[in-house]
A and B are shown apart, each in its own frame.
Chain A
Amino acid sequence: MAFLEISHLHKRFAGHTAVHDFSIAIEAGEFVTFLGPSGCGKTTILRMLAGFEAPSAGSMVFDGVDVTQVPTRARQVGMVFQSYALFPNMTVAQNIGFGLKLAGVERSASAARVREMLELIKLDDLGTRYPWQLSGGQQQRVALARALANRPKVLLLDEPLSALDAKIRLTLREDIRALQRTLGITTVFVTHDQEEAMSVSDRIVVLNDGRVEQTGTPAQIYNFPHTRFVASFIGTLNQLHGEVLRAQSGEVRLADQTLVCAQLPAGTPPGQACVLALRPEAIRLGGAGGPGRNVLHAVVEEISFLGSIVRIRTRVGAQQLSLDVFNDPNQALPARGAAVALEFDSAHLLALA
């Protein structure tokens, strides 16, 4: 049995179902991210794990103990909130030691643990400061230390980086991941930021409208999206409307050009419309094709310089297709209106459900 076992969780509010039949098994020490847009149900699931919301149906088992009916304060979870939620009347040390005090930990042991946590978050000298004397990033570090001080079974992170500026967000997310690896604590992270999710997670659960769209490692989610929603939500993806020619050989027609899609489900009848997905970075400018390669002829519409990469938007018939090339000062880029050949691996052309 997994360390965290969530089975058939449902949550209904008045006239609206926020979570539909959600199940997942999370191993001890795993870092799992619930990713999705606002209103997809990710925070509702996290709040049910914390005990702030009661599920309408389903069960939650933490380390072999069914906690579905257990009140929040007895669940032994640590939680970090988007708005830090530090107690303004307490110093940093008092905030970190609050849970220890409630657990009846002896004063000297509590003080030692607070010191240890302060060292862990690299704020050793700020124990006597009040939350309002700290920056947002420092406050969130304190919130993390407070959540970890009691050695919880599960760490819940509710969009902890959303209120921070970009640079601090980047550093803190690396720190959170490093800390999580050091302590080996099972962690559930909620975010709407796919880059954040990709960079820190062992596994990602993509949610949409209260349902799981796909669960997998960041690479699986990014490279092999199962649904149109996942494909459009994660990264930049070209979605092209084509027509099946021969399912067995994976041949599809796209604007009078024939391509091979290695992932086309067998048995798809010829003539059926299909949606094909292709990452911009999977496409190469120019190329003569060959076994397992597709070549598509297109016309350049727009060229955008994005720093390390250059995004070229092309037109294939009535559809648009973008590709990314590395910014190389020695490489000449095609002009707008130029006819170009685009080459890509047939395995990278995905058929979406």
Chain B
Amino acid sequence: MSAARPAARPPQGVRASRWGAWLALALGSSYFLLPLLATFEFSLRMQRGVYSFEAYRIVLSDPLFQSTFSYSIVMALLTIVVGALLVVPTAYWVHLRLPRLRPLVEFITLLPLVIPAIVIVYGYLRMYNSSALIPLTGSATATDFLLMCSYVTLSLPYMYRAVDTGLRSIDVRTLTEAAEVLGASRYVILRSVIFPNIRAAILSGAFLTFAVVLGEFTMASLLDRPSFGPYLQLVGANRAYEPSALAVIAFLATWASMGLIQLFGRSAHTRPGPT
């Protein structure tokens, strides 16, 4: 009986390239992780000589933190709902009836990435100021509405891309025709056939929107609304350890969104094969 032989070692060139890949990964990871670790470590140093979560305790018990964080969460949720209601039917119609317009619509939805937020918000202020035909800055509620519309614009590239990818993964035209022939109206088709089948894509767009809105500063600040972004800036300008704790909290919220995207994205694609 022959003894088990050790697995053959890969050739030297392959081993060297593997080490190179690991080194590149380590360098890339440290580029992102080191500043974050440093921020986290600094946020624990509020009490002299010992590590503590004192900065977090102060931040979390700050009524201004609670109100701005809640405000931003509500705005993010509203943005997601309005954005999805705007983007899904539009993207669906473009897929179904106007495929030639797809490049144009994609270009329009990418504009918020090209035009700085400050330019967009100045445009809004010129168009909807208190002396304009539609005075959306005349009251707090109207300004909230304007801010939410700004966020919808800001999140368009993410929401549209995600929904468009979802629609490309299903046969929109045939599913629509199959539903139509069974007696479904366009509304029923969107609600019962299209929406459920691109749920994972909508959720991806929704979580990206959530992350973008949660940390947004420019629009909220220039429209003078009490959101989380301006609060972050305010604390950063006046405190030492709390801004680091806030930065970590914001990171955690964003990463939780990313994690949820991964989770829902995976569940939509890990279907077993036919039986």
Show the binding face of A for B, using Cβ within 8 Å.
50-52, 72-75, 77-79, 81, 83, 85-89, 98-99, 102-103, 129, 132-136, 143, 146-147, 150
Contact = CB atoms under 8 A, between A and B. Distances in A.
Given A89-B193, A89-B196, A133-B274, A98 B177 contact: no
Given A99-B182, A133-B272, 17 more contacts: A52-B177, A72-B177, A72-B180, A72-B181, A73-B181, A73-B183, A73-B185, A83-B174, A87-B175, A87-B179, A87-B192, A132-B271, A133-B275, A134-B275, A143-B178, A146-B182, A150-B183
B181 A88 contact: no
28 contacts: A50-B181, A51-B181, A52-B180, A72-B177, A73-B180, A73-B182, A74-B183, A75-B181, A77-B181, A79-B177, A79-B178, A81-B174, A81-B178, A83-B174, A85-B171, A85-B174, A85-B177, A87-B179, A87-B193, A88-B170, A89-B193, A99-B182, A102-B184, A132-B271, A133-B275, A134-B275, A146-B178, A150-B182
Contacts of B182: 73, 98-99, 102, 146, 150
Contacts of B274: 132-136
A85 B178 contact: yes
A295 B156 CA distance: 79
Chain B residues touching A, range: 20 to 34
A225 B271 CA distance: 50
A99 B177 contact: no
B178 A87 contact: yes
Contacts of A102: 182-184, 188
Q: Taking chain B's interface residues, is the majority helix, strand, or loop, or is none over half, making it mixed?
A: helix
Nearest to B184: A102
Interface centre among B179, B182, B196 (most CB of A within 10 A): B182
Contacts of B39: none
A75 B180 CA distance: 10
Interface string B190-210: 001100110100000000000
Most buried by A among B177, B199, B272: B177
A81 to B, nearest CB: 5
B171 A73 contact: no
Nearest to B268: A88
A254 to B, nearest CB: 50
A88 B178 CA distance: 12
Contacts of A143: 178
B171 to A, nearest CB: 6
Nearest to B193: A87
A72 B170 CA distance: 22
A89 B197 contact: yes
Contacts of A83: 171, 174
Given A72-B180, A134-B274, A88 B197 contact: yes
Contacts of B171: 83, 85
Given A73-B183, A135-B274, A87 B174 contact: no
Contacts of A133: 272, 274-275
The residue among A81, A87, A129, A133 with the most chain B CB atoms within 10 A of its own CB is A87
A81 B275 CA distance: 22
Contacts of B275: 129, 133-135
